[in-house]
Amino acid sequence: MAKVVFRDQEWEIPGGKTVREIIEELGLNPEAVLAVKGKKLLNEETVVEDEDEIKLIAVISGG
Amino acid sequence: MKKRQTQARVPRCKKCGAPAVIYMRQHRLALCETHFQEWFVNYTQRTIEKYHMFGPEDRVLVAVSGGKDSLALWDVLTQLGYRADGLYIGLGIDEGTQYSQRSLEAVRGFMAERPGLRLYVVDMKEAYGETIPELARRVRRGRGKPCSVCGLSKRHIMNELALREGFDVLVTGHNLDDEAAVLFQNTLRWQTGYLARQSPVLEATHPGLVRKAKPFCRFYEREVAAYAIVRGIEYQYDECPFSVGATTIYYKELLNQLERHSPGSKFQFYTQFLKAKKKGLITFHEPEGEVVLRPCRICGQPTTAGEICAFCRMWVRPDMDLEEAKRSVPSLTFRVETSESEEG
Ligand SMILES: [Zn+2]
Ligand SMILES: [Zn+2]
């Protein structure tokens, strides 16, 4: 299982999906979210494998 | 084998063929980490030139909040060799959240890795005796939210400091999503006055006004965040606690839904508006007689609000005469912080 972290929530997701698929599955808009693994920015077509831990970052701010 | 699977669908960098970290649909452009940074910096320079924002000799003041946009902007302008100092306004939004405190820490962390930077710090509590939430509570403006007091205070302080310290231009990190959201909101209501004024550059139309520019106005918010991440900028991720439910965020979400189904629509919406306006294909007129700018009798900054500007009015009571009023408005104080220069 891959671990996905967004804000203070965490999900376990089976490996083999792309970043974009994961973002969409969580009901988020890929235009408004980026994914990082460690400090590395991930392309949205990157396949997330079992054991991977990725973090989603909301890019939209108010103001 | 596993590696190939992982990378199979990842687009290749247009410049070097390495796996791309970002694909920008509106430009049909995929770039690797290195070439994305290079493109981002060069594209900022092209925007600065396209709208005649400022030149290499100009002194530039960057409004920094500790968020991704303003820190990325300061980073890029420094890389491009501009004489750019920062201005941080300590709003004192700390009750429960330490939001302002952590924002300043993000700015200081950014500076610590970049020798030779200069930061002007204006602390609301020190300079004016009240934090933004305290000030907002006292003047009872803005229906329980301090956002309107905050906005007008920031505009006033940025303008005053920029003029007093002799800067040629004040720049902010507004990105295309910010601008498109404002455009969308103003178009829905046909706010012709606002539409007339919305521009990547605001000229100093009055001696008491500093010139303003938005060098990131052609970047998607997503690209600015991506740039901050690949540059390793540790920005303040948290939102101002008062921005929850802000209408701008709602409009940004709407535009991103459009963007998701029709890539490039956000970009077209904003840039075609600017283009059509520039060519004179669409014109808006300021409502007649409404915008008479007169200098505030206390601070001298131009105001449409009559004798005394909205900022100064927060300290003035109707029964005061002018001398008393002048004494009541605290004057701007600031300190300057610098990051160690390489030789020192
Ligand atoms: Zn490349
Ligand atoms: Zn005034």
Give the CATH number, domain containing residue B252.
3.40.50.620
The DSSP code for B232 is: T
Say if B33 is an interface residue toward chain A (CB within 8 Å). Answer: yes
Closest by alpha carbon to B85, among B122, B50, B48? B122
Determine the residue among A22, A31, A52, A57 to mutate to test chain B binding: the one whose Cβ has the most chain B Cβ atoms within 10 Å: A31
- Cβ separation of B221 and A60 shorter than 8 Å? yes
Is the same domain home to B79 and B159? yes
Residue B173 lies in a domain: yes
Which pLDDT score, from 0 to 100, does residue B27 have? 97
Over range B126-152, report the average pLDDT.
89
CA–CA dist B175, B220 (Å, integer)? 6
> pLDDT-derived band of residue B4, with 50, 70 and 90 as boundaries?
very low
φ, ψ dihedrals at A11, nearest 5°: -130, 150
Has residue B7 got a pLDDT over 70?
Answer: no
Has residue B164 got a pLDDT over 50?
Answer: yes
Closest by alpha carbon to B172, among B142, B210, B145? B210
Say if A61 is an interface residue toward chain B (CB within 8 Å). Answer: yes
Over range B165-179, report the average pLDDT.
98
Over range A39-50, report the average pLDDT.
96
Q: Which two tokens mark B339?
A: 């990051």
Has residue B297 got a pLDDT over 90?
Answer: yes
Structural domains counted in chain B: 2
Cross-strand partners of A6: A9, A56
Over range B220-230, report the average pLDDT.
98
Share of chain B above pLDDT 70, in %: 94
Among B19, B68, B260, the residue with its CB nearest the CB of A29 is B260
The DSSP code for B19 is: B
Is the same domain home to B171 and B251? yes
Residues contacting B60, CB < 8 A, separation 6+: B54, B77, B82, B83, B84, B85, B167, B168, B169, B171
A2-58 homologous superfamily: Beta-grasp domain (3.10.20.30)
Is the same domain home to B281 and B300? no
Has residue B1 got a pLDDT over 50?
Answer: no
Has residue A33 got a pLDDT over 50?
Answer: yes
Q: CA of B11: which chain A residue's CA is closest?
A: A45
Is the same domain home to B296 and B281? no
Share the mean pLDDT of chain B.
92
| Three-state DSSP state, B76 | helix
Which pLDDT score, from 0 to 100, does residue B340 have? 82
Residue B21 lies in a domain: no
The radius of gyration computed from the CA coordinates of chain A, to the nearest angstrom, equals 11
Domain range for B94 is 44-237+247-285
Over range A42-58, report the average pLDDT.
96
Is the same domain home to B58 and B106? yes
Residue B183 lies in a domain: yes
Q: Residue B192 burial by CB count (10 A; 0-12/13-18/19+): exposed, middle or buried?
A: middle
Say if A50 is an interface residue toward chain B (CB within 8 Å). Answer: no
- Cβ separation of B2 and A49 shorter than 8 Å? yes
Which pLDDT score, from 0 to 100, does residue B97 have? 87
Is the same domain home to B216 and B305? no
Residues contacting A5, CB < 8 A, separation 6+: A53, A54, A55, A56
> Measured between alpha carbons, how far apart are the two ends of chain A, in Å?
37
Sort out which chain B residues have CB atoms less than 8 A from A59's CB and list them: 68, 221-222, 224-226
Residue B344 lies in a domain: no
Is the same domain home to B55 and B103? yes
Which pLDDT score, from 0 to 100, does residue B344 have? 43
Q: Is the ipTM of this complex over 0.90?
A: yes
| Position B169, amino acid | V
Is the same domain home to B205 and B313? no
Is the same domain home to B94 and B202? yes
Tell me, in angstroms, the distance from the centre of ligand 2 to residue A3's CA: 54
Residues contacting B107, CB < 8 A, separation 6+: B64, B66, B71, B86, B88, B119
Predicted confidence (pLDDT) per residue in B256-288, tens digit? 999 999 999 999 999 999 999 999 998 887 666
Tell me, in angstroms, the distance from the centre of ligand 2 to residue B152's CA: 11
Does the global pTM surpass 0.90? yes
Q: Detail the DSSP E strand segments found in chain B.
A: 22-24, 29-31, 59-63, 83-90, 118-123, 169-171, 201-202, 211-213, 294-295, 302-303, 335-338
Is the same domain home to B279 and B314? no
| C-beta atoms surrounding B108 within 10 Å | 15
B224, B216 in Cβ contact below 8 A? Answer: yes
Has residue B46 got a pLDDT over 80?
Answer: yes
Sort out which chain A residues have CB atoms less than 8 A from B240's CB and list them: 62-63
Say if B18 is an interface residue toward chain A (CB within 8 Å). Answer: no
Q: Where are the domains of chain A?
A: 2-58
Which pLDDT score, from 0 to 100, does residue B9 have? 84
> pLDDT-derived band of residue B92, with 50, 70 and 90 as boundaries?
very high
Q: A with B: how many residue pairs have Cβ under 8 Å apart?
A: 87
Which pLDDT score, from 0 to 100, does residue B343 have? 54
Determine the residue among B1, B219, B222 to mutate to test chain A binding: the one whose Cβ has the most chain A Cβ atoms within 10 Å: B222
The number of C-alpha atoms within 13 Å of B67 and in the hemisphere containing its C-beta is 21
Which pLDDT score, from 0 to 100, does residue B342 have? 59
Q: What HEC string does A33-50 produce?
A: EEEEECCEEECCCCEECC
B72, B107 in Cβ contact below 8 A? Answer: no
The number of C-alpha atoms within 13 Å of B237 and in the hemisphere containing its C-beta is 11
Share of chain B above pLDDT 90, in %: 80
The helix (run of H) or strand (run of E) holding residue B134 is helix B132-139
B268, B202 in Cβ contact below 8 A? Answer: no
Residue B321 lies in a domain: yes
Q: Detail the DSSP E strand segments found in B56-195.
A: 59-63, 83-90, 118-123, 169-171
> pLDDT-derived band of residue B141, with 50, 70 and 90 as boundaries?
confident
Is the same domain home to B160 and B209? yes
